[in-house]
């Protein structure tokens, strides 16, 4: 599976993005899932599922007939959902299609395997069995390969939670840049606006999630979340570009980033620096499949300079010029192990059109695992330099979405957000 720290994917596959299927879920229903999966009816939010998060956000569903449990990374930056398919007996964290009577591989002559789109541009490909061949490649060097197929997914015990004929990739080979994380999951659940995404196939035009910052829990809601205790959301519109551009992902959740401020001081940057250029490079994507957030080089440099100046005398710089965490983050400091909490730090605010996202406290600094200097921990700021890892985009990762109610309103082309205690939200929803 792709490293979720900076998983911007380049996908090549022969596949149709228009198909017919019937689901028992209605648009006016609400599905509430725990980002670990169980469905618990709760007032006006019947469709809910809890989830778990560490490096990735993961949700547990079942697939096939009889059902097999799978754990999938929740990824708003991807379209096609896919599973590791069992290649040899005893393979952990995999789906075995030979034990599912509802599994249906898609032949390469099927219309589902023919239409070319921006995401799937490779001509139709057949394997030796005349099945639709799929290859997914990610920017961090990881990959997955297999076949396109359909099967029944379930996210709960009720009949309305049964989703027959869901299209996904059944991957039987690949390699990963993060094998430890990969070994704990069965695959990936794609949640962008493309026709093959999980939410599109379900027939919902809206979904939400809330990620706790105090523990590893969360909640995922399909449909309308009518919650009296939820603060009114601030909405920012999705960017629409009608012309096909080589570096612009038209089915991503692309929002308008207008500026950044550090403790109330707005970085002195031209607004044009946040606007995609003539190639589409420079879009700002809300991506649950990426852990941290990334800024293009000039913006990252400006943030680094201002933040460093404001924490002078509060934090002690690491002082190692060549140290770069995860290949993209070099604003790092030494913090005494004896400290129970970080000192009070200036917040970094992302200014979107119509909404703001405040990044403070534990969301702003991250302790590098296993890194010790004398009696100090090593902490790095949780923004990375996109230029250092070859990304031509701004990416808002799930770490900065903690304790925010995040609503993806596909019907109205907007993303809503509001600060909330997500651990309490999960409790109120019975998860």
Distance CA 330, CA 195 (A): 38
User: Which residues have C-beta within 8 Å of that of residue 114, sequence separation ≥ 6?
Assistant: 14, 16, 124
Distance CA 334, CA 374 (A): 10
Catalytic member of 75, 140, 151, 249: 75
Catalytic member of 119, 151, 249, 287: 287
Nearest alpha carbon to residue 306 among 337, 335, 343, 265: 265
Tokens, residue 187? 């695959």
Dump strand ranges (E) for 223-363. Answer: 234-237, 254-255, 257-262, 265-266, 283-286, 293-295, 316-317, 332-336, 348-352, 355-359
Distance CA 14, CA 120 (A): 6
- Concatenate the DSSP letters of all residues of 40-61 into one string: ---TT--EEEEEEESSSEEEEE
Specify the 3-state DSSP secondary structure of 367: strand
Q: Is residue 11 within 8 Å of residue 206, measured between CB atoms?
A: no
Nearest alpha carbon to residue 82 among 181, 159, 194, 196: 196
Distance CA 72, CA 393 (A): 25
With b for 16 or more beta-carbon neighbours within 10 A and e for fewer, the 362-380 pattern comes to bbbbbebeebeeeebbbbb
Q: Is residue 15 within 8 Å of residue 113, measured between CB atoms?
A: yes
CA atoms within a 13 Å half-sphere pointing along the CA-CB vector of 123: 0
| Residues in a beta bridge with 265 | 262
| Residues in a beta bridge with 369 | none
Report in angstroms the alpha-carbon separations of 164 from 67, 109, 222, 331, 333.
12, 22, 17, 48, 51
Q: Is 140 a catalytic residue?
A: no
Specify the 3-state DSSP secondary structure of 398: helix
Question: Could you give the angle at the alpha carbon of 136 between the alpha carbons of 37 and 50, nearest 5°?
Answer: 10
Q: Is 287 a catalytic residue?
A: yes
User: Which residues have C-beta within 8 Å of that of residue 152, sequence separation ≥ 6?
Assistant: 63, 64, 65, 100, 102, 162, 163, 164, 165, 166
Q: Is 130 left (phi over 0), alpha (psi -120 to 50) or beta?
A: left
- Residues annotated as catalytic are 75, 287
């Amino acid at each position: 599976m792709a490293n979720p720290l900076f998983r911007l994917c380049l996908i090549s596959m022969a596949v149709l993005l228009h198909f017919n299927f019937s689901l028992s879920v209605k648009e006016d229903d609400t599905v509430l899932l725990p980002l670990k999966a169980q469905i618990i009816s709760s007032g006006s939010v019947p469709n809910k599922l809890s989830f778990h998060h560490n490096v990735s956000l993961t949700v547990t569903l079942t697939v096939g007939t009889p059902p097999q449990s799978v754990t999938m990374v929740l990824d708003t930056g991807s379209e096609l959902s896919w599973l590791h398919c069992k290649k040899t007996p005893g393979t952990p964290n995999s789906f075995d299609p030979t034990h599912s009577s509802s599994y249906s591989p898609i032949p390469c002559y099927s219309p589902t395997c023919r239409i070319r789109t921006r995401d799937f541009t490779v001509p139709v490909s057949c394997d030796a069995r005349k099945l639709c061949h799929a290859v997914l490649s990610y920017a961090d060097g990881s990959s997955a390969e297999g076949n396109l197929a359909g099967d029944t997914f379930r996210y709960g015990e009720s009949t309305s939670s049964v989703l027959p004929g869901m299209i996904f990739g059944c991957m039987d080979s690949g390699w990963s840049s993060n094998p430890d994380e990969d070994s704990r999951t069965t695959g990936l659940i794609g949640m962008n606006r493309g026709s093959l995404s999980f939410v599109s196939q379900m027939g919902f035009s809206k979904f939400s999630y809330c990620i706790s910052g105090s523990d590893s829990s969360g909640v995922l809601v399909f449909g309308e979340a009518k919650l009296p205790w939820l603060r009114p959301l601030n909405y920012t519109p999705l960017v629409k570009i009608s012309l096909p551009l080589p570096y612009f992902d038209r089915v991503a959740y692309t929002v308008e980033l207008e500026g950044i401020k550090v403790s109330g001081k707005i970085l002195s940057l031209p607004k044009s620096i946040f606007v995609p250029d003539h190639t589409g490079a420079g879009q700002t994507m809300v991506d649950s499949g990426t852990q941290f957030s990334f800024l293009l080089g000039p913006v990252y440099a400006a943030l680094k300079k201002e933040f460093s100046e404001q924490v002078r005398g509060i934090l002690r710089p690491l002082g190692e010029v060549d140290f770069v965490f995860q290949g993209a983050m070099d604003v790092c400091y030494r913090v005494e192990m004896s400290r129970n909490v970080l000192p009070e730090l200036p917040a970094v605010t992302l200014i979107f059109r119509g909404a703001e996202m405040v990044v403070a406290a534990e969301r702003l600094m991250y302790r590098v695992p296993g890194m010790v200097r004398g009696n100090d921990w090593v902490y790095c700021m949780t923004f990375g330099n996109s230029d250092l890892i070859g990304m031509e985009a701004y990416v808002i990762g799930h770490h900065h979405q903690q304790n925010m109610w995040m609503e993806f309103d596909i019907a109205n082309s907007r993303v809503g957000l509001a600060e909330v205690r997500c651990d309490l939200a999960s409790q109120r929803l019975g998860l």
